[in-house]
Amino acid sequence: MTTVQEIKAAIDTLSSAERAKLESLLREPGVSESPPVVKLPDQAARRRRILGDKILPNLVLQEREAETR
């Protein structure tokens, strides 16, 4: 088998079970259908670790309030 047409013709002659086995052999091992789950860092825990219970003022809102006065 050297051409794509020959390979396709050979695959078409396979039974569904043989075709499923061929497909599983052609897939790379360890590659799953679903995308990998990415664990994102806990930003709230990081903020508490750095700042503690301190609440920073919203400087943008304070500036807007100062402009309206």
pLDDT in tens, 25-34: 888 776 566 7
Q: According to the model, what pLDDT value does residue 27 have?
A: 82
pLDDT of 18 > 70? The answer is yes
Whether 37 maps to a domain, the answer reads: no
Half-sphere exposure of residue 27, counting CA atoms within 13 Å on the CB side?
A: 11
Residue 60 lies in a domain: yes
Q: Report if residue 36 sits inside a domain.
A: no
Range of the domain at 19: 4-28+42-68
Q: Is residue 62 part of a domain?
A: yes
Q: How many domains are contained in the chain?
A: 1
Q: What angle is formed at CA 57 by the lines to CA 52 and CA 63, rounded to 5 degrees?
A: 165
Q: Tell me whether residue 16 is in a domain.
A: yes
Per-residue pLDDT reduced to its tens digit, 29-58: 765 667 778 899 999 999 899 989 888 899
Is 35 domain-assigned?
A: no
Tell whether 14 is covered by a domain.
yes
Q: Tell me the whole-structure pTM to 2 decimals.
A: 0.37
